[in-house]
Amino acid sequence: MKYSRLSKEQFEELHKEFINFLATQSITADEWTNLKANRPELAEQELDMFSDLIWEGVLNQVQYIEHISPQQLHLFHLTEAQMHVIALKITDTSIDITTQDGFEWLRQNLMNDDVEFFNADKDYSDDSQLDKFKLIQQGGSITKGELYTYFENLIG
Q: What is the DSSP string of 29-70?
A: HHHHHHHHHH-HHHHHHHHHHHHHHHHHHHHHH--EEEEEET
Question: What are the pLDDT digits (tens) for 44-95?
Answer: 999 999 999 999 999 999 999 999 999 999 999 999 999 999 999 999 999 9
pLDDT for residue 155 is more than 90:
no
Helix or strand run (H / E) with residue 155: helix 146-155
Question: CB of 4 within 8 A of CB of 134?
Answer: no
Q: pLDDT tens digits, residue range 111-143?
A: 899 999 999 999 999 999 999 999 999 999 999
Sheet holding 72-78, edge to edge: 115-123, 82-90, 72-78, 64-69, 141-143
- The enclosing H or E element of 74 equals strand 72-78
pTM of the model: 0.86
* Neighbour-count burial for 6-44, b at 16+ CB within 10 Å, e otherwise: beeeebeebeeebeebbeeeebeeeebeebeeeeeeebe
DSSP 3-state percent helix, strand, coil across the chain (nearest 5): 50, 20, 30
Q: How many residues does the chain have?
A: 156
Give dist(CA 10, CA 7) in Å, integer: 5
In the chain, where the domains are located: 8-61, 64-155
User: 3-class DSSP state for residue 98?
Assistant: coil
